[in-house]
Amino acid sequence: MTTGSLPFYLLILITLIVFYVSKDMKFKQWILLLASLVFASYYSITSVVTVTLMSILNFYYAKYAIKGGNYTYTKLVVINTINIASLLLLRKLIDLGFNSLTTFSQGFSNTSIVILGIGFYTLQNVAYQIDVYKKRFAPETNLVGYILANAFFARVTMGPVMNIQAFNKQLATLPVKFTEENFTLGVQRILIGSIKKLVIAERLTFTVNYLFDDPHGSQHGYSVLVAGLLFTVQLYFDFSGYIDIALGTSRLFGIQLKENFNMPFRSTSISEWWRRWHITLIEWFTQYIYYPLAYKLRHARTTATLVAIACTFFVSALWHGLGITYIIWGLCHITYLIAETLLKKQTMALQKKTNPALYAMIFTPITIALVCFSHLFFRSADLSHATRMIYVLFDFKNFWPDISFSQWLMNGGDDFETSFNLRFGVFLAILYLVFEKRILNTYSFGRYRVAWFTFLTVVLVMLGVFDGASRFIYMQF
């Protein structure tokens, strides 16, 4: 049962009925928790046990630590060492084959997804302990709400990351009635997310896997260029599609999660990219790593900023995985951001002098190209494969293929379907990106609602790729 699958929607339907039949707030929370544990148990019992135990541990630890008003720094270090060590240890055990029941079947990584969402809720638990230690919030008093904040089925898989306190605030005011607003906004978001994942991202999967995983996939610079760009587009539609489904599902229960994307392909700099891409994760790293470091070292001026950037993206790389490819991906972004910081005054001066449309026309492609380059490391199975791709990319004598792109692609696909899926997928992706703002702002109430929902459903059913679309790329984190 994955987010967006048929059993997932069956679970939502049953949960929705019981949720809205009941008028009791406590019971509603129990229903959501039960549904969340059923969802996690589909992946493994280890998922259920881990999320429950880590939540109980953090819930009671904060209560114990603050007793007598003395939550010491040592106590904070102890609990967050346990949180982080658990994450690293469990990931390592899984990598070593401790439990290989579920593996990625379509390339990208062999990492098992046995412990669902541990990377995401570990961040939330670490933040919770820091916030209680800093006295920003009082410890939570509702254990069910605490476990639910970590295990909530709509977002446990891949976020968005959200403070436990902010999530639990909403649990106190869960809706009694199923309102038209929650229904309309929820269903619309689920349909848009499903279209992003099943109609667009899935059409690009075969080509991306061929380009990255097949030894014949990237033999000349042009194909590496296409690989980097296609993977970035696929990742965006896959991940933001999941987030749309998560936001829409939560909305059906009257819970509003934080937005995680804001049209990243319109960024004109890397720092802007990170304000628009995986927003909740970068906000977490900014709040709990970047700013504290930049604050402590602030008298060192620009050096402080550069050190804080380096540490933040190094930790971010480690959070994604312990592999060298993630570390180099992090190093790429550290380099980009350091260069941007050092050249900020010059780029700002240029921006002021240049027509905004012209500036965007020049700097948006540069930004996307830099991100795509870093994704060559992020997506490659190992360092030798990534370095081979980089070598091929800059081997200008061998940049263009001898045969047409379609013919070359056919070697990987051996049928017309692959070529069609790629072309149609790219066409739909461009179409979506051009009208993205308008699509996301179309809140259809009143008489056009039925027509709008019918249109989205027809697009999904007629154009969706339903074979093997059972995994999202970011699930492994």
Partner 1 sequence: MHSKEAILNSLTQIFRKEFSDNNIVLQDRTTADDIAMWDSLTHMTLMDTIEQHYKINFSFDEILSFENVGDLVTAITNKTAA
Q: DSSP assignment of 337-394, as one string?
A: HHHHHHTHHHHHHHHHHS-HHHHHHHHHHHHHHHHHHHHHHHHSSSHHHHHHHHHHHT
> In which residue are the tokens 């102890």 written?
78
- Tell me the closest approach of the beta carbon of residue 71 to partner 1, in angstroms: 15
- Tell me the closest approach of the beta carbon of residue 299 to partner 1, in angstroms: 6
- Tell me the closest approach of the beta carbon of residue 27 to partner 1, in angstroms: 37
Helices (H), 67-163: 73-95, 118-133, 143-151
- Tell me the closest approach of the beta carbon of residue 278 to partner 1, in angstroms: 15
> Which residues have CB under 8 Å from 269's CB, separation 6+?
340, 347, 363, 367
Give 23 or 352: the residue with its C-beta nearer to partner 1.
Answer: 352
Give 161 or 337: the residue with its C-beta nearer to partner 1.
Answer: 337
10 Å CB burial of residue 156 (0-12, 13-18, 19+) is buried
Q: Which two tokens stand for residue 151?
A: 């295990």
156 vs 122: CA distance, rounded Å? 11
**Helix then strand then coil, % of the chain, to nearest 5:** 75, 0, 25
- Tell me the closest approach of the beta carbon of residue 300 to partner 1, in angstroms: 9
Site residues (vs partner 1, CB under 8 A) = 134, 136, 271, 286-287, 290-292, 294-295, 298-299, 301-302, 304-305, 308-309, 337, 340-341, 344-345, 348-349, 351-352
Cα angle 421, 441, 444; round to 5: 95
CA atoms within 13 A on the CB side of 139: 20
Cα angle 118, 120, 125; round to 5: 85
CA atoms within 13 A on the CB side of 367: 21
- Tell me the closest approach of the beta carbon of residue 295 to partner 1, in angstroms: 5
Give 26 or 298: the residue with its C-beta nearer to partner 1.
Answer: 298
- Tell me the closest approach of the beta carbon of residue 128 to partner 1, in angstroms: 16
Question: Residue 161: which H helix or E strand, with range?
Answer: none
- Tell me the closest approach of the beta carbon of residue 404 to partner 1, in angstroms: 45
Give 76 or 309: the residue with its C-beta nearer to partner 1.
Answer: 309
Question: Residue 1: which H helix or E strand, with range?
Answer: none
Give 118 or 308: the residue with its C-beta nearer to partner 1.
Answer: 308
Give 19 or 273: the residue with its C-beta nearer to partner 1.
Answer: 273
Give 304 or 383: the residue with its C-beta nearer to partner 1.
Answer: 304
Residue 402: DSSP 8-state:
S
Give 295 or 400: the residue with its C-beta nearer to partner 1.
Answer: 295
Asked if residue 419 lies in contact with residue 410, where contact means CB atoms within 8 angstroms, the answer is yes
- Tell me the closest approach of the beta carbon of residue 459 to partner 1, in angstroms: 35
> Which residues have CB under 8 Å from 449's CB, separation 6+?
184
- Tell me the closest approach of the beta carbon of residue 283 to partner 1, in angstroms: 10
Give 345 or 397: the residue with its C-beta nearer to partner 1.
Answer: 345
Give 355 or 384: the residue with its C-beta nearer to partner 1.
Answer: 355
